[in-house]
Structure 1
Amino acid sequence: MPSPQGESRQGLAYALGAYAIWGFVLPIYMKLLAHVSPIEVVAHRIIWALPFAIAILLWQGTLRHALAHFREPRTLGLAALTAALISVNWGVFVYAVGTGQTVEAALGYYINPLVNIALAAIFLGERPTRLQGLAIALAAVGVAILTLKAGGLPWISLVLAMTFGTYGLLRKTVRVGASEGFFLEVALLAIPSIVLVLLFVPEKHFLNDGIETTLLVAAGPLTAVPLILYAAGARLLHFTTIGIMQYIVPTLMVLTAVFLFGEPFGGWQLVAFGFIWTALGLYTGTLFRRRVGKDTAVPTRPSSGLTP
């Protein structure tokens, strides 16, 4: 049996693998599919994730238990809501990367933890601390600067943050594990995705080109693999560690967007992001304060979720 330190190193490797895929590999991958309709990309992402999700459950020996959830109306209804939210999130992310707005997408994932605090206060009665309230206010200033300079709300950032935040809120009420929840969501979305591809995508790329077909099919496993790595890492790391490491994803996205995709990142964006990074620093401080004196051999397991 590995030591706690060995487990932490292994968990760190798993988590870094997941975040590297979400923050670096996935944006580049979606950039390669920029000429394909986001609807078609997301539909194939769902369709080809389903067999992979089934394979995971077979390997875990939990497929029968997962199938039993289809006889639970409440679980099925909530899974349908989370599936709808995550499909919108994926679609907006694919659109953002394909249209050269990856920096704005990254902003959405930066402000997502602060949106979570606000949603928890509104719907779960969890009062934010003073530092958390200040963090939310600073993030709002950053968004306001972006709104004024761009001449409109950064809707991509806000949609990504709100859909993923609401997704996480609802997932807390669905009493299924990460793998089973992922299976339920893609299973519910599979048939609508097939219908969309067959009837509502005017210019189909699937089977018309070998490279495009391979990319569309591989998008399924690319969706599932980081989720598995994240879930494995989350079991071996403390909540504080996972909470801080989640910023790797939008940071990699910004670096990829600016230095590989050539997206602009001017002075006013730096000022706006400065407010948001300061807000995240305050939020991270609350995570550390919450964990002071509570470090144990068995780490607290955070709730699971899906990023891009």
Structure 2
Amino acid sequence: MNKAVSETSKGVAYGLAAYTMWGSFPLYFALFEGIPAWEVLIHRVVWSCVFLAVVISLLKRWSPVKVALRRPKRLGFVLGCAIFIALNWGIYIYAVETRQVMQASLGYFLTPLVNVAMGMLILGERISRLQVVAVVLAAVAIVYQIVLLGVLPWITLALAFSFGTYGLMRKKVDLDGLSGLFVETLLLLPLGLLALAWLSAQEMSHLAESTNSALLLMSSGIVTAIPLLAFAGAARRLRLSTVGFLMYINPTLQFLIAMYVFHEPLGTEKLISFVMIWVALAIYSWSAWNGRARA
């Protein structure tokens, strides 16, 4: 029993570490001021691949990677995952650079509900009435923003649907998080290296601009991989429901950073849409918790 409690405590610690790091990403990506989001994205892909290769070597986890690479016909789903996660990364970096972190946080609040909607519409999964109510309420919140603010919250929607689609395609890939992300970045590596070569040829690269910018760009690989390793440690030790509740730490921290660090405006209309999403999440979480308890 003591061992089980100890493992659960470690799992919670790993989960808190992972989601706190992810939630603090706005502070990290704000350091790239002056470097275009697409260039930061290129470096994040390249250096993530390099660092993950080192981690996989240290952990001696090359076996699943080799198996995946020997099945080129099944790499289509992995490539799809790579494209959607790169799209998600790029939009998120742009959101931080343009100080639209609040919209980004709303996107990650919305993601679980997008996952539920996709599961129902695409996979034919059955969901409870309360979960239907939660999805409808979230949709109303987005329509409310469009009508009253007169602006399509494209960052919110793009982040939620790109990550939701990534999760949907990830179900078709028989790889753990670490190996999967490595293969995804590996497939994008040739394109990333070509882009870096072009930037250097055009004398537009920030890599050689200064030691600080070079170290900052290279650190993006480490910053990407470390929360993933912590999350893997949590996922192995905790129930899915516990991991699901810890997940809300990420967008909550982003929301607080947007408001108190970046001083982004929060008008009444925007606040109401956030409250509607939060209520939808509370309904969804209550329904999911009760469903698992009964099971």
Asked if TM exceeds 0.5, the reply is yes
Q: TM-score, normalised by structure 1?
A: 0.91
Structure 1 segment 107-126 matched on structure 2, within 5 A: 107-126=106-125
Structure 1 segment 128-147 matched on structure 2, within 5 A: 128-147=127-146
**Residue 293 (structure 1) shift:** 5.2
**Residue 200 (structure 1) shift:** 5.3
Per the alignment, in what secondary structure is the counterpart of residue 138 of structure 1? helix
Instruction: Answer yes or no: is 1:180 the counterpart of 2:179.
Output: yes
- Distance in 2, Cα, partners of 1:193 & 1:34: 21
Per the alignment, in what secondary structure is the counterpart of residue 115 of structure 1? helix
Counterpart of 1:256 in structure 2 is 257
Counterpart of 2:241 in structure 1 is 240
Counterpart of 1:40 in structure 2 is 39
- Distance in 2, Cα, partners of 1:197 & 1:73: 26
- Distance in 2, Cα, partners of 1:87 & 1:149: 31
- What percent identity do the matched residue pairs reach? 37
Counterpart of 1:304 in structure 2 is none
**Residue 87 (structure 1) shift:** 0.3
**Residue 79 (structure 1) shift:** 0.7
Structure 1 segment 4-83 matched on structure 2, within 5 A: 4-24=4-24, 26-83=25-82
- Distance in 1, Cα, partners of 2:27 & 2:214: 17
- Distance in 2, Cα, partners of 1:263 & 1:93: 16
**Residue 34 (structure 1) shift:** 2.8
2:224 alignment partner AA: T
Q: State the Cα deviation string for residues 118-172 of structure 1 (Å, max 9, x = none).
A: 1101121102210010001111111112112332210000010001000001001
2:219 alignment partner AA: A
More off after superposition, 2-11 vs 95-104: 2-11
**Residue 244 (structure 1) shift:** 1.1
1:238 alignment partner AA: R
Per the alignment, in what secondary structure is the counterpart of residue 118 of structure 1? helix
Q: Is the 8 A contact 1:34 1:99 kept in 2?
A: no
Counterpart of 1:100 in structure 2 is 99
Counterpart of 1:195 in structure 2 is 194
Higher helix fraction: Structure 1 or Structure 2? Answer: 2
Q: Provide structure 1 residue ranges, at least 5 long, that are not aligned to the other structure.
A: 295-308
Q: Is the 8 A contact 2:19 2:250 kept in 1?
A: yes
Q: Is the 8 A contact 2:108 2:159 kept in 1?
A: yes
**Residue 2 (structure 1) shift:** 5.9
- Distance in 1, Cα, partners of 2:4 & 2:90: 39
Count the aligned residue pairs: 293
- RMSD of aligned Cα (Å): 1.5
1:164 alignment partner AA: F
Q: Is the 8 A contact 1:47 1:186 kept in 2?
A: yes
Q: Is the 8 A contact 1:11 1:236 kept in 2?
A: yes
Counterpart of 1:303 in structure 2 is none
Q: Is the 8 A contact 1:34 1:97 kept in 2?
A: no
Q: Is the 8 A contact 2:15 2:234 kept in 1?
A: yes
- Distance in 1, Cα, partners of 2:11 & 2:217: 30
